[in-house]
Structure 1
Amino acid sequence: MVVGLIIACEVGFWVLLAAGLAVRYLLKWRRTSVALLLCEPLLELILFAVTAVDLRNGAEPGWEHGLAALYIGFTVAYGPYTIRRLDGYAAHRLADGPRPPKPPRHGMARAAHEGRLWLRTVLAAAVACALLEGAIRYVGDGDTSSLRSFQWVSLRAVVIHGLVALTYAIWPKKAPTEADDMVRP
């Protein structure tokens, strides 16, 4: 049941996002668009409530409960960023708005961008770990090893993403020069 709800929340996220942007830029209904986009956090609250009720009703804590916590953490951290980026693209494509800036590709600007993304991953892991810790305490004396393992999964994601982001700061990619452009056919 929880896995199906996670899938439904993901599909719902994209459906609400597409509907919100279509209503905003095609029909010019800004208030309706805001209302649709504000419904997105409700999906995570529903997932959280159903997961808590599932555990309260005696379900054995499993990987699906850990996945639900990771999904909620990821959505909290990356959801607003995703919505903002896609809103910029929709404004450009559908409402003749300015082209949204692309993330930097070179140098320390790219390293700073990767660092900001890593901070989002830290937030996602913090939310997921807090939800998982709450679930562990909520369950009490039962077997919570699967929930603990998902805490480690989220912490490993932070470390791996941090190392990748750090490589951009240590070895920044250099911008192509005019001489490089002349060599290419």
Structure 2
Amino acid sequence: MNWIAWFIIACEIGFWVFIIAGLFARYVFKQQKLGIYLLAMSPIVDLVLLIATSFDLYRGATATIAHGVAAVYIGVSIAFGKSMIRWADERFQYYVAKTGPKPVKRYGLDYAKHYFKGWIRHVLSYMIGCGMIGMIDWLIDDIERTAALVQIAKVWTIVLIVDFLISISYFIFPRKKPEEG
């Protein structure tokens, strides 16, 4: 595995470390400002990843699947970042800090709408990630060096379509409460 793949893994770990540390600072140690600062560091991790992958390709590296995964990661992080932090915050408050309400489980039409909104975020992340892939492809202008990026975009297109079909299926076959089904 090349260094960029390890760097992506480190960034993903760093993203969640900052979120967990921020939540601990907020709810366990009652340090609101520190908690906000730590939570605000999670997008900085994405920026560092973007700079690192850009630098690697600028130096002449041939794009690998890892470079494509970096684009996916950045797109997903931008599109889902706020909702992922909110999700973690709700669960941390309830399960760890014992200060918040129990997270709501969704069923029926409510779940279908919520999942579809997630699919819309998936489209946004796809546009960001594939936009980055397209820009890198255009800037490098060497199909042999960017072939792995195009492969990632193709696979992601299939994943997006499958996610759409799953999303629509929840409107046709609504998720039922355990006692109903």
Question: TM-score under structure 1 normalisation?
Answer: 0.89
Between structure 1 and structure 2, the one with the greater Rg is: 1
Query: CA offset at residue 99 of structure 1?
Result: 2.1
* Deviation by residue 1:68-101 (Cα, 9 ceiling, x = unmatched): 1111112122222111011112222415222232
Coordinate RMSD, CA, aligned: 1.7
Identify the match of residue 94 of structure 1 among 87, 94, 97.
97
- Structure 2 gaps of 5+ residues are none
Query: CA offset at residue 142 of structure 1?
Result: 4.5
Query: CA offset at residue 138 of structure 1?
Result: 1.7
Structure 1 residues 1-185: aligned runs within 5 Å? 1-92=3-94, 93-102=96-105, 104-105=106-107, 107-143=108-144, 144-175=146-177
* Deviation by residue 1:102-142 (Cα, 9 ceiling, x = unmatched): 2x12x211211110111121111111101101110121135
| Separation (CA, whole Å) in 1 of partners of 2:88 and 2:178 | 28
Query: CA offset at residue 174 of structure 1?
Result: 4.5
| Counterpart residue identity of residue 131, structure 1 | M
| Separation (CA, whole Å) in 2 of partners of 1:142 and 1:159 | 25
Paired residues in the alignment total: 177
1:174 to 1:37, Cα distance in 2 relative to 1, 3 A = closer
Query: Once structures 1 and 2 are overlaid, which stretch shifts more, 151-160 or 18-27?
Result: 151-160
Q: Report if the CA contact (8 A) 1:132-1:151 is conserved.
A: yes
Q: Secondary structure at the match of 2:97?
A: helix
* Deviation by residue 1:41-73 (Cα, 9 ceiling, x = unmatched): 111111111111111100011211111111111
| Separation (CA, whole Å) in 2 of partners of 1:22 and 1:49 | 29
Report the identity percentage.
33
1:40 to 1:173, Cα distance in 2 relative to 1, 3 A = closer
